[in-house]
Amino acid sequence: MNIDKVTLHTLIASKLTLAGLSADYAAVMADVLVFAEARGIHSHGTVRVEYYSERIQKGGITLHPEIRVETTGPCSAILHGDNGPGMVLSKQAMEVAIDMAKEKGIAVVGIKNMSHSGAISYYTQMAAEAGLIGLAMCQSDPMVVPFGGAEIYYGTNPLSFSAPGRDNIMTFDMATSVQAWGKILDMRSRDKAIPDSWAVDASGKPTTNPHDVRGLLPIAGPKGYGLMMMIDILSGVLLGLPFGRSVSSMYADLSKGRDLGQLHIVINPAFFGDQQTFLDNVQQVMGELNQVRPAEGVEKVMYPGEIADLEQARTEKEGIDIVDSIYDYLKSEHVWINSYDHKDPFAESH
């Protein structure tokens, strides 16, 4: 099904409102979800709406959270989220970080007790659009087999970085597993096979069937494993939150808050040199990367985030393609159809 951004935003926001979320909060969540779909990050787009709706209706997301910003130092703060909607909390925390970095040069803002926050490149791009450098990282529930291990321990623990150029933004957004879990959910919904380098089955063997996945693999083996550790410490241990295999499961009990953590770091280039020179130089890097001689079979070397930029430009004109069954769900009067509650981390909907 092909749909324009405005219509998709309305459908998502309406569904989340039907689940019990306020119109303002639903609009923010729809902003982030449509952002993901428009940029080709389908793993963090409409495929997640039913899950969010079920958790909202069952009480696992605080509908009217008591959000409190605690300034802990000249360049640091903690946003206490009361298990409110992760996207709302993440956006607010990035706004705090942006304001702080504009004044102080750098900001480190942690978020405590939040729900899933979607595609975190949305928040780092907020910083870049303000002329600042943005870095974000967050915990996720245990789904990844550590390098050399035979059982899951860390989450996919994503990392995003955005830097502004004169005309464009360079953005790097990655899970520290070979693929995000949401990507496998997307492949399930499309009934497509996955590469055998993404995940393992219950016996620990590589699988191409997204329905058989029982553990994800870290990107680049020990390197991805190390990054997972770093992100878990910075967004969990540092904030006094559950960490490692103690991080709450996405599906274990949808009536309870997840108590997740996230960290935003924002840097103001003007405190480290000339702001305009920085913007020019980042833009120059993008142009020089485009001019690198491509390898055989490759049309052009692209800067990080360029593929998503091109996809966003395309969807602005041509609309967004979503799975028919998800469109039918968004159009329906059901809050949720398939139950995710009290499932293992690799739950199949039914």
pLDDT value of residue 181: 79
pLDDT value of residue 336: 86
One digit per residue, pLDDT tens: the chain, 350 residues? Answer: 999 999 999 999 999 999 999 999 999 999 999 999 999 999 899 999 999 999 999 999 999 999 999 999 999 999 999 999 999 999 999 999 999 999 999 999 999 999 999 999 999 999 999 999 999 999 999 999 999 887 899 999 999 999 999 999 999 999 999 987 778 888 988 899 999 999 988 888 889 999 999 999 999 999 999 999 999 999 999 999 999 999 999 888 999 999 999 999 999 999 999 999 999 999 999 999 999 999 999 999 999 999 999 999 999 999 999 999 999 999 999 998 766 877 776 765 43
Dist. CA 253–CA 230, nearest whole Å? 27
* Vertex 254 angle, CA 327 and 183, to 5°: 45
Please report, in angstroms and rounded to a whole number, the separation of the first and last CA atoms in the chain. Answer: 22
Structural domain spans, the chain = 2-273+311-331
Asked if 337 and 326 count as a contact pair (C-beta separation under 8 A), the reply is no
DSSP string spanning 244-278? GGGSPPSSS-TTS---EEEEEEEE-GGGTS-HHHH
CB neighbour class for 270 (10 Å; exposed up to 12, middle 13-18, buried from 19) = middle
Give the residues across from 169 on adjacent strands.
164
Look up residue 162 and give its amino acid.
S
DSSP string spanning 35-69? HHHHTT-GGGTGGGHHHHHHHHHHTSS-SS---EE
Give the residues across from 321 on adjacent strands.
2
Which of 228, 221, 88 has its CA nearest to residue 149? 221
Which of 219, 232, 127 has its CA nearest to residue 171? 127
Q: What are phi and psi of 117, to 5 degrees?
A: -110, 5
Dist. CA 79–CA 109, nearest whole Å? 7
pLDDT value of residue 306: 98
Look up residue 65 and give its amino acid.
P
pLDDT value of residue 347: 62
- How distant, in Å, are the alpha carbons of 43, 109, 229, 242, 243 from that of 260? 19, 14, 15, 8, 9
* Vertex 25 angle, CA 141 and 116, to 5°: 5
pLDDT value of residue 339: 67
Dist. CA 256–CA 233, nearest whole Å? 23
The DSSP letter of residue 297 is T
Overall size of the chain counted in residues: 350
pTM: 0.93
What's the CATH number of domain 2-273+311-331, 3.30.1370.60, 3.30.360.10, 3.60.15.10, 3.40.50.300? 3.30.1370.60
pLDDT value of residue 348: 59
pLDDT value of residue 189: 84
Q: Which residues are catalytic?
A: 116
Which of 265, 218, 216, 307 has its CA nearest to residue 100? 265
* Vertex 126 angle, CA 30 and 76, to 5°: 115
